[in-house]
Amino acid sequence: MSRSGVPLAVVTAARRQARTTLIRKYTSVGGIGTVGFALFMLGVVWLLRDVEFQQGQVDASVYLMGGFLAFGVVAAAVIGVASELQYERDDGTLLRAKAVPHGMTGHLVAKLMAAPLDAMVPLLPAVLGVSLLLPGVMPDSLGGWLLLVLVFLLSVAAMLPWGAVLGSVFRTMLGLGFAMMGVYALAALSGVFYPIAGWPAPIQAIAQATPLYWIGHAVRSVLLPAEAAAGEIGGEFRLVLALMVLLGWAVVGLLLAPVLLRRMARRQSGSAVAAARDRVLSKGY
């Protein structure tokens, strides 16, 4: 028995499952394409290296890189996890996990293990490339890199449970597709890619009530110079507050997600999987 209360055999199996999932994903055409997109972003950042924002205080490449990192976390931990759960429900993976002792627990632990690497792999080529080709965009000290890693891990922890929540609440890919469109819209309005200090006050209030705003703000707090804080809400970087908010979202999500996942698992049956397969074959979703 491990210290967390999860049997050691379950943790070992979950680690093996996480490794297999990542290898299969990033040796597939889709996984390779995801990494290719990171290389495309590297090219865009390079082309914008001489464009300046905020009266020359910040390079556009820094803003673009910050938005790419922030949304990469959201895409992997929310959209990616929700989509995976939907596929696993329809193809019988969750039903098989349900039939094995501690199967659902192991399945969830495997996702928790895979999520940070799953979010990191698509970003890594761009991060390494920018670090080598454009000094000054990424942190230039060990402390800055450690802080960026902390922001990254806490952002993944804050968003991963909510990806599981979306995947368990929406029962078809069509419904989940509409939910994902909402996530994209929320990301555009909540300051993931850029500061929103100039937006109307109601939109600012709504944005700050979401973890997406604080992810973008935290990444900019690490990457941007202090004078760039003038473009943020309140005219300052609030990194400590951002980390506390993300920790709160992580705690609430980790309490809620297992409840919804167990409820979803209870509803799984052979007839439900067969009905899902028939629906996909007849309607395509």
Task: Render pLDDT for 142-199 as a digit per residue (tens, 0 to 9).
Answer: 999 999 999 999 999 899 888 888 877 877 777 778 888 888 888 888 888 888 888 8
pLDDT of res. 186: 87
| C-beta of residue 180 within 8 angstroms of C-beta of residue 76 | no
More confident residue, 270 or 172: 172
User: In the structure, what pLDDT confidence band is assigned to residue 1 with cuts at 50, 70 and 90?
Assistant: very low
β-strand pairing of 52-53 with 58-59: antiparallel
Q: What is the pLDDT of residues 55-110, one digit of tens each?
A: 556 777 888 888 889 988 888 888 888 888 777 776 667 767 666 666 667 777 78
Residue 74: partners with Cβ closer than 8 Å, 6 or more residues away: 159, 183, 187, 192, 212, 215
pLDDT of res. 119: 84
Q: Which range is least confidently modeled, 115-124, 166-175, 244-253?
A: 166-175
Q: Rounded to two decimals, what is the model's pTM?
A: 0.84
Q: What is the pLDDT of residues 221-247, one digit of tens each?
A: 999 888 888 888 988 999 999 999 999
Q: How far apart are CA 218 and CA 47, in angstroms?
A: 25
Q: What share of the chain in percent tops pLDDT 70?
A: 84
Q: How far apart are CA 64 and CA 221, in angstroms?
A: 14
More confident residue, 130 or 56: 130
Phi, psi of 162 (to 5 degrees): -75, -25
